[in-house]
Amino acid sequence: MQYENDRYTIGGIDVRDICREFGTPLYVYDAAYIAGQVARFKAAFAGVPAWIKYACKACSNLAIIQLMRKLGTGLDTVSPAEIKLGLAAGFKPDEIVFTPNCVDFTEIEQAVETGTVINIESISSLEKFARKFGGTVPICIRLNPNISTQVNADKVDWWHNQSKFGISRSQLDTVKALEAAYDLKINGVHIHSSSVIMSPDIFTEGARTVFDIAAGFKHLEFVDFGGGLKVDVGDGNPVIDLPALGQTLENLYSDFCDQVGHRVEIWFEPGRFLVGNAGTLFAECTVIKKNEAVDFVGVNTGFNHLIRPMFYDAYHEIVNVSNPAGPAHTYTVVGNLCEIDNLGQGRQLSEVREKDLIAIKSAGAYGYAMASSYNSRPRPAEVLVMDGQAHLIRKRETYADMIQNMVPLDL
Ligand code: LLP
């Protein structure tokens, strides 16, 4: 979303017009921004054979997945339905990676049948896989490198040795034993942490570790660094310098290829980096409420539509679209659910009046994707602005949608 000539626009369209047409609450995404992020990513990693596998859990609308395909990415999926979405968007099975966590083995079997790249992340699944498929189907191994990322956020720091993700580095002997016993074709090694790529030093340590381990697999074709690239959300926290990261990787990569003896592809699975700042959640101010200590802006959305502020203490910049030149006041912006439902506390906004249009920024990743109909409030519609036009890409949920799977009793 841009602010130009006293108004907020997305792809050149005044956001008030979009919200008038489709109503609020409304998720709006900017296709040009997404294309720019794909281009930025490709430019930063131009020195290595890097491939993007868009982590569609971040925003799994079919139209967004179609757009990614048009932009030349692959797809990272975590469930059978995400694989189906990828296929529906036109991805070829081998452009899709299946990276599930703690799933029933039948899901992995289904993915094998579909022909996606398979990522195995527990010894238990690896044993089952080895017994069933042996070396007939290549696999990627998801590792936990057991490195502390020094990011104090338990919900997103996954490389440490108490994380549920990946096969621990200390279990590599078991992996090797299974590889030898069943002639497994391990062609990829994967690591991911949603917070690790904050610091180039930690990334370098992780990359060195994973390259060292990966070099020991004779069928190696790719190393997958997962996602976790931060974006600037306006909270003043440092953001990774992507070209510097690309350079770091390029330097390590040539030694790695010498060690392996052939070129190995480098994969990334960015979600937030591609779509986070592409999306805005628009809401209307329903109530202005003052008590002795706080001025509240009540809006017609809440953590049912954007859970990140309450769940992760995540910062989302909030602006008053209707009164950009108004005097600044400090407000706490709250949702309309019947429990504590803060979207932003103690924020400076230009004076808010009831009915004003409020924009909650950086909501493209893990926004709609984590939304619910809690309090029996329908989920918002979604709109994609592309080539100067606002396209409805998901209808607003209705009462009928919400009750369609309920089975009333005959009392
Ligand atoms: N690859 C794997 C294996 C993942 O588990 C994830 C995210 C990604 C890639 C993409 O990560 P990204 O580039 O978007 O950081 N709901 C949380 C984030 C959870 C991330 C889950 N896995 C949030 O709202 O911040």
Residue bearing the CA closest to ligand 1, atom 24: 366
User: Which pLDDT score, from 0 to 100, does residue 400 have?
Assistant: 98
Q: Does residue 273 have its Cβ closer than 6 Å to ligand 1?
A: yes
Tell me the CATH architecture of domain 60-270: Alpha-Beta Barrel (3.20)
Which range, of 139-148, 307-316, 365-374, 396-405, averages the lowest pLDDT?
A: 139-148
pLDDT band at residue 154 using 50, 70 and 90 as cut-offs? very low
The residue that leads in pLDDT, 169 or 268, is 268
Q: Does residue 230 have its Cβ closer than 6 Å to ligand 1?
A: no
Q: Does residue 380 have its Cβ closer than 6 Å to ligand 1?
A: no
Segment 282-311, tens digit of pLDDT: 999 999 999 999 999 999 999 999 999 999
| Every domain of the chain and the residues it spans | 2-29+276-403, 60-270
Q: How many residues does the chain have?
A: 411
Segment 15-27, tens digit of pLDDT: 999 999 999 999 9
Q: Does residue 198 have its Cβ closer than 6 Å to ligand 1?
A: no
User: Which pLDDT score, from 0 to 100, does residue 112 have?
Assistant: 98
DSSP state, 235? Answer: S
User: Which pLDDT score, from 0 to 100, does residue 153 have?
Assistant: 45
* Beta-carbon contacts of residue 181 (< 8 Å; ≥ 6 apart): 130
User: Which pLDDT score, from 0 to 100, does residue 238 have?
Assistant: 79
Residue bearing the CA closest to ligand 1, atom 2: 226
> Among 276, 263, 243, which Cα is nearest to 64's?
276
Which is the closest atom of ligand 1 to the Cα of 307? Answer: 24
331 CA → ligand 1 middle, Å: 30
Q: Mean pLDDT, to the nearest integer, of 259-279? A: 95
Residue whose CB lies within 8 A of the most ligand 1 atoms, among 68, 269, 274, for a mutation test = 269
Residue whose CB lies within 8 A of the most ligand 1 atoms, among 34, 77, 194, for a mutation test = 194
Q: What is the CATH number of domain 2-29+276-403?
A: 2.40.37.10
| Edge-to-edge order in the sheet of strand 2-4 | 2-4, 7-10, 13-14
56 is catalytic: no
pTM of this prediction? 0.95
Helix axes 62-70, 80-88, angle to 10 degrees: 60
Segment 96-107, tens digit of pLDDT: 999 999 999 999
Segment 367-389, tens digit of pLDDT: 999 999 999 999 999 999 999 99
Segment 166-186, tens digit of pLDDT: 898 889 999 999 999 999 999
Which is the closest atom of ligand 1 to the Cα of 142? Answer: 3
